[in-house]
Amino acid sequence: MQSENRDPRRWWILIVLCLSTLVLVVDSMALTVAVPAMAEDTGASAQDVQWILDSYILVFAGLLLTSGSLGDRFGRRKVMIIGLLLFGAASLAASFCTGPGEVIAVRVAMGVGGALIMPSTLSILITVFDEAERPKAMAAWGSVSMLGLVGSPVLGGVLIDRFSWHSIFFINVPVVALAVLAALTLMPESKAPWQKADPLGAILSAAGMTALIWWIIEIPQHGAFSGRSAVTLAVAVVTLAGFVVWENTTASPMVPLVLFKHRNFSGGSLSLALVQIGNGGLLLVLTQYLQFVLGYSPVKAGLAFVPLAVAALLGNGIGAKSAARYGNRALLLTGMGLMAGSFALLTTVSADSGFTVPAVALGLLGLGAGIAMPAAVGALMSTIPAEKAGVGSALNDTIQQAGTALGIAILGSLLSSTFANEMPAGAPEQAKQSIGAALAVAQGDAGLVRAAKEAFADSMSTTFTLSAIGVVAAAVLAGLVMRDAKAAASGEGEGEGEAEGAGADAEDAEDAGDAVRPSELTA
């Protein structure tokens, strides 16, 4: 009966969703490779470069909840296509930019487009695929994201070598055109029943998330509680607290905060946030190790992450086939155990380790992430009713964005401070700022070069220790909070006739996989 209701075009629709997600991932990662060439060509200062990177993140994170709500209200396909068109137009404009101010402006526009695209892709996925096929669809969607994450630095390096930094933006245009054409041809529209708008909720969420992400970004440079950081944090706390109060009192809330009362949503989302904090600085740290310590070129450094991508594809396949049999919680714990083991292995890397140990660790990390991440997302998304799929997806994306930003800020600060402490007391002050600065200052001084590489390896070990702790904490949280509806339901059947057991199992079943009832959304 269930198969009769499945959209016959659903796998083609999945291709459209993957293309839409891929363009966001590729652009974000390829840009990091292009920064040096872009800064030199446009005359961008260090502050300009920071704004080029951060302006996109701020707008993207700040508008996610609002864009998810717009998708539920006006149509998820419509909002996704508008986002794609805006993202493509901004990418085309970026390919003609000549100054840093122009690049910042188009990055803001791209952030708006990305915020419209991202929640729509996941919400459409969970409305098109039923519970039986959703794990496979999630695995494919996650695999494409991982391939883009790993392959885009390589693609960016090749494009910059053969053309210019403008090409990393122009490459988005044909992909966006294909995604829009396919969406118009293949994808049905889906939206929630009409309800009253929540403009105050939208304003509070956008202001609060923008302030929060900005505060996190500023931590490495200005500290967490200095003058300007304290003001930004205060704005974030006041607006987000106001958002929570308003959403719990208004008759038509933009975001159903009742979702957090359900084990799988709260456990899955908080676990993902902790994992993202642990993962936040991975690429940043390892890329520096590969280039500054091992002497890899940018393209070779990008290719070094191939074990991560291959293992993630394998992990996604294992997770998709095993979800129905073992449940999301078991897969989540298994995957996070592998991820924690990977970070533990990375703590043993020294300046003389070469690439063997990092390659094995990256393989473990990819395998664990491939198994765990789709299971976590699948578990929390299963609690969201169809009429709130867009804003529910946006809430998941927002939590992960905040976790990633916080991870980059925390791990980046820890890496810098530990590096400075590990450098010899007599080293020049400029050399203590970063390994890149140390190698530039060394100018053939073998002793200083050696000291900088050893100091970076030691600081990297400390950083990955914190990453391992974050992933272990996520696993513990998931194990304690999350439940599998399948397991609870079977337990209830086996315990029939035993009042106490049946009552407990029924409670677990309710907490585990049941979606939030429509009546709860306005309760």
> Cα(10)–Cα(136) distance, rounded to whole angstroms?
12
The predicted structure's pLDDT at residue 22: 84
> Cα(198)–Cα(84) distance, rounded to whole angstroms?
25
Nearest in space to 505 (alpha carbons), one of 514, 518, 496: 496
The predicted structure's pLDDT at residue 110: 93
> Cα(42)–Cα(475) distance, rounded to whole angstroms?
45
The predicted structure's pLDDT at residue 249: 87
The predicted structure's pLDDT at residue 485: 58
> What Rg do the C-alpha atoms of the chain give, in angstroms?
23
Name the CATH superfamily, with its identifier, for domain 258-484: MFS general substrate transporter like domains (1.20.1250.20)
The predicted structure's pLDDT at residue 237: 94
> Cα(439)–Cα(431) distance, rounded to whole angstroms?
7
The predicted structure's pLDDT at residue 361: 92
| Burial class of residue 333 (count of CB atoms within 10 Å of its CB; 0-12, 13-18, 19+) | buried
**Residues 463/469/470/471 CA torsion (nearest 10 deg):** 110
The predicted structure's pLDDT at residue 326: 81
> Cα(440)–Cα(112) distance, rounded to whole angstroms?
38
- Could you state, in order of their start, the residue ranges of all structural domains in the chain? 258-484
Instruction: Give, for all 523 residues of the chain, the pLDDT tens digit.
Output: 355 567 788 888 888 888 888 888 877 777 777 777 787 788 877 678 778 878 888 888 888 888 888 888 888 889 999 999 999 999 999 989 888 889 999 999 999 999 999 888 888 887 888 777 877 887 788 778 777 777 777 787 788 778 888 888 898 899 899 999 988 988 888 777 667 778 898 899 889 888 988 888 777 677 778 878 899 999 999 999 999 899 888 888 887 777 777 777 877 778 888 887 777 667 778 878 888 888 887 678 778 888 888 888 888 888 878 877 888 788 888 999 999 999 999 999 988 888 889 999 999 998 998 888 878 777 777 777 766 777 777 777 777 777 777 777 778 778 888 888 889 888 888 888 788 888 888 887 888 989 999 999 999 998 899 889 888 988 888 888 877 655 444 444 444 444 444 343 444 444 444 455 544 544 4
Contact 126, 389 (CB under 8 A): yes
The predicted structure's pLDDT at residue 497: 41
Helices (H), 280-355: 282-288, 298-303, 306-326, 328-346
The two three-digit tokens of residue 85, written as one number: 């068109």
Contact 38, 52 (CB under 8 A): yes
Angle at 169 between CA 166 and CA 173, to 5 degrees: 130
pTM above 0.85, yes or no: no
Residue entry with tokens 């129905």: 324
